[in-house]
Amino acid sequence: EMSASLVGSEMCIRDRNTPLEYFLVGDVTSWADKSAKCMLYPQGDKKYAYTTDFTKTENGVQTAGNLKIWLGADIGNWDNCYGAESDGDNAVSGKLVSVNAGAIACPEVGKFYKLEVDFSTNEYAWTELTDQAPKSYTHISLIGEYND
C-alpha cells in the first residue's frame, strides 16, 4: 500500500511498510543542523536504535554527549525535533517529547551505549553495551551482483 504527501514543494511517495527515517543531531554530529549524518536504525514497528560512544571531547575534557532527534523531513527545523522533557536529562530512560524538547544526555562518559526510541509510546531508553571494546573496521565492502 502506498501513501503520498506534499513536503514543501516536493511530492513524497512511500510504501506504508517502509519505516520513517529519523536522525540524531547533537554532539555526535557537532550539532550540524543542515545534514543527515546519524540515522536511527529501524528495529520494528515505530522502534529505532543507535549504538555508539556518545562521549563529547572538547579541549581534552570529556562530557556525556547530548542529542535530539529529527524526522528526516524536518531536519533543520528545531521546532519539530524530539527530545527529553528536561534539557540535559541523563536518566537511563525517559519520556520523548516534541514540544519544547530538551537534549537527551547519555548516562555515562566514555562508554558505548545503545539508545532505543519507541515512537509508539514516546519513550527512550539507554542500554550500556556489555562489550566496551567493540571491533573497529577501517574498510568494509558490500558484495552483490551490482558490483562489476
CB-based contact 76:65 (threshold 8 Å): no
pLDDT digits (tens, 9 = 90+) for 73-103: 999 999 999 999 999 999 999 999 999 999 9
Q: Which residues, other chains included, contact 19 with Cβ-Cβ below 8 Å and sequence gap of 6+?
A: 42, 48
pLDDT of amino acid 32: 87
All three cell numbers of 37, joined, read 549524518
Strands 93-97 and 83-84, sheet pairing: antiparallel
The whole-angstrom separation of Cα 5 and Cα 77 is: 18
d(CA 140, CA 72): 26
C-alpha torsion sign, points 6, 29, 77, 20:
positive
Q: Which residue has the cell 514543494?
A: 9
More confident residue, 144 or 122: 122
Q: What is the mean pLDDT of residues 121-127?
A: 97
Distance in angstroms (rounded) separating the CA atoms of residues 58 and 78? 24
**What percentage of the chain exceeds 90 in pLDDT?**
62
Quote the pLDDT of residue 10: 56
**pTM of this structure:** 0.80
In tens, the pLDDT along 6-52 reads: 555 555 555 566 788 999 999 989 898 887 889 999 999 899 999 99
pLDDT in tens, 102-111: 999 999 999 9
- CA-CA distance, 76 to 90, in Å (whole number)? 24
